[in-house]
Amino acid sequence: MFDGYDSCSEDSSSSSSSEDSEDEVPSIPASLPIIKNNGQVYTYPDGKAGMATCEMCGMVGVRDAFYSKTKRFCSVSCSRSYSSNSKKASILARLQGKPPTKKAKVLQKQPLMAKLANQAKSKSVVPVEGFDWGQYICSNNLVGAPVSCFKHVPMGMCWGDIAEGVRVEVLNSDTNLSTKVYWVAGIVKLAGFKALLRYEGFDNDSSKDFWRNLCIPEIHPVGWCASSGKPLVPPKSIHHKYSNWKAFLVKRLTGAKTLPPDFATKVQENMQYPFKKLMRVEVVDKTHLCRTRVALVEQVFGGRLRLVYEESQDGTDDFWCHMYSPLIHSIGWSRSIGHRFKRSEVTKKMEGQMDAPSQLFLKVKDVDQSGDWFKDGMKLEAIDPLNLSAICVATVRKVLADGYLMIGIDGSEAADGSDWFCYHSASPSIFPVGFCEINSIELTPPRGYTKLPFKWFDYLREMGSIAAPVKLFNKEVPNHGFRVGMKLEAVDLMEPRLVCVATVTRIVHRLLRIHFDGWEDEYDQWVDCESADLYPVGWCQLTAQKILILEASNCFIARLFLKEETPEMDEFTFSQGISDQESNGSGSYYIRQEH
């Protein structure tokens, strides 16, 4: 992964910073100009500080602290709102159960450090037109990332045997009968949890093909009807093709694969999550990324947590993340590693509160910090937590215990260090000097740095700094299975309450470039291949969450749900099924003929 690196470090004594309490502010070098804006203090390496006015919200601020290359907006929130204001107004209104108004916005202006997360203002969701993954995939000949790429989702560790050709028993919607009847269907195409199914007997006729989520209760292994006393009835469109449908099924299905008999049970077991309401955790403070705060678990959706900061009076000051996110920790974690922590002013706990057990949280790699290790002042490259489309020039600002580092983005740091971000030394979001150049990725230089094109050797010499040794970075690249062009569902990490239709547009070792369909490329995000914020097609439907897509001039926010077809009347019935399944020892099951 890091082949081709040539050290461009120069020996220099590294500086250190001290900030053991939440109120301690590092000293500001006298050589740097200082500008205060909305409570934040900014410094600029070139001394050319300028002001700008946000074209969306009208906030006046420091130009270099503004978002994007054009500096037209104070944040990614305002940039997005401006680019599709009318569309997003409608979306927010529908999310909140309100009629669209001119004042409605998806994103309300927040302080600079709040870009990482936005508040969900309402729990209520008004059902709206559903997004049709099947139509989207078929009409554009798209490919969904397989479930096996997502180890953190239900069935993610045991999906390998689910493939095209597997047979299932499903509700028969091509009938006139007034009662529910079923028929055998085969998987024609897979996209995440969703499968394009074709009833047995249609051969190459795709006119009645339909998409279903394989993890919903209405999908059964072959033999379920026989064991449950349910009728197997061929579709009315083809019931005339054969006089002996039982013989047809026996011939077609003998030796074919089907789902394991306990498939539905495994799905339900995989959807049990250990985090419970009112559990206390430490989570990053979205207004000051350099510190953590206590928050309570308010809701759990498919492993995603809606956390409410303990001091929130009305429960709206919240934060969304997955239970395996590196942003949440057990109570006492901050003190144990020397991380800044905002003490809660709440003295009385609510009934039912408990500290989340430490074993529920993501385990990080053990490291040996003795000897040649990261030091304060070392330079590296890092994904900007406030602009996830950018990999930036960065500095180790403080070395914590257990392998954790406080990282600052050069040229845009608040002088008090309030935007420093905690990364573990094994994090896939930090890289050695030269990573972007070797992998043909645009490296974002420090704001205000004028000696372009940026050269690391020159910059290190000017700053009197050294590069962090390459050997200290995570070099592991798992066989993740992602391919460019694959579709998936992804959390918009700048608005983590939203899950969006997305595409993998680039792969660099274990790093994925995620594009949100319908958005401009500037809103893409670099995400690790093992991120718990990526999900297969159909995950939102399975967990009853919303999914968002912005496509051309049309906006759809869908609370996906299964529509159960009502069988139509028909005089033809056939209630015999075939059963008996044998395991091949690998988790897949073959159908054999009865004797």
Q: What pLDDT shows up at residue 32? A: 41
Look-up of token digits 């998806």: 106
For residues 113 and 116, what is the distance between their CA atoms, to the nearest angstrom?
A: 7
Domain identity same for 404 and 462: yes
Domain identity same for 385 and 454: yes
Residue 419 resides in a domain: yes
Q: What pLDDT shows up at residue 141? A: 93
CATH of the domain at 535: 2.30.30.140
Task: Estimate to the nearest angstrom the gap between the alpha carbon of 38 and the chain centroid.
Answer: 31
Residue 108 resides in a domain: no
In 3D, which of 587, 586, 595, 567 has the Cα closest to residue 171?
567
For residues 64 and 257, what is the distance between their CA atoms, to the nearest angstrom?
A: 60
Residue 541 resides in a domain: yes
Helix H or strand E encompassing 288: strand 288-301
**Do the bridges between strand 443-444 and strand 328-329 make them parallel or antiparallel, or are there none, so unpaired?**
unpaired
Residue 332 resides in a domain: no
Domain residues for the domain of 549 are 486-559
Phi-psi sector, 464: left (phi>0), alpha (psi -120 to 50), beta: left
Residue 247 resides in a domain: no
Helix H or strand E encompassing 368: none
Q: What pLDDT shows up at residue 64? A: 56
Domain identity same for 396 and 468: yes
- Amino acid (1-letter code) at residue 164: E
Among positive and negative, which fits the CA dihedral 68, 71, 77, 78?
negative
Domain identity same for 380 and 458: yes
- Asked if 113 contacts 579 with a C-beta cutoff of 8 angstroms, the reply is no
Q: What pLDDT shows up at residue 313? A: 82
Angle between helical axes of 85-96 and 76-83 (0-180°, round to 10): 100
For residues 201 and 243, what is the distance between their CA atoms, to the nearest angstrom?
A: 12
Q: What pLDDT shows up at residue 352? A: 85
Q: Where are the alpha helices (DSSP H) in 44-132?
A: 76-83, 85-96
| Structural domain ending residue among the three candidates 443, 473, 503 | 473
Residue 286 resides in a domain: no
**Do the bridges between strand 499-508 and strand 486-491 make them parallel or antiparallel, or are there none, so unpaired?**
antiparallel
Backbone angles phi, psi at 507, to 5 degrees: -130, 120
Residue 380 resides in a domain: yes
Domain count for the chain = 2
Domain identity same for 386 and 456: yes
Residue 320 resides in a domain: no
- Asked if 394 contacts 446 with a C-beta cutoff of 8 angstroms, the reply is no
pLDDT tens column, 501-553: 999 999 999 999 999 999 999 999 999 999 999 999 999 999 987 677 654 33
pLDDT tens column, 403-421: 999 999 999 898 888 999 9
Q: What pLDDT shows up at residue 83? A: 53
Q: Specify the pTM.
A: 0.77
In 3D, which of 562, 528, 541, 530 has the Cα closest to residue 499?
541
Domain identity same for 372 and 467: yes
Helix H or strand E encompassing 334: helix 333-337
Three-class DSSP labels, 507-522? EECCEEEEEECCCCHH
| Structural domain ending residue among the three candidates 473, 506, 536 | 473
For residues 263 and 168, what is the distance between their CA atoms, to the nearest angstrom?
A: 11
Going residue by residue through the chain, which has 595 residues, state the pLDDT in tens, using 9 for 90 and above.
Answer: 555 554 444 444 443 433 444 444 444 444 444 444 444 444 444 444 456 777 767 666 656 556 655 667 776 666 655 554 544 444 444 344 443 333 333 333 333 334 433 333 333 332 334 689 999 999 999 999 999 999 999 999 999 889 999 999 999 999 999 999 999 999 999 999 999 999 999 999 999 999 999 999 999 999 999 999 999 999 999 999 999 999 999 999 999 999 999 999 999 999 999 999 999 999 999 989 999 999 999 999 999 999 999 988 888 899 999 999 999 999 999 999 999 999 988 767 778 899 999 999 999 999 989 889 999 999 999 999 999 999 999 999 999 999 999 999 999 898 888 999 999 999 999 999 999 999 999 999 999 999 999 999 999 999 999 999 999 999 999 999 999 999 999 999 999 999 999 999 999 999 999 999 999 999 999 999 999 999 999 999 999 876 776 543 333 333 333 233 333 333 333 333 444 444 444 345 556 555 4
| Structural domain ending residue among the three candidates 473, 505, 536 | 473
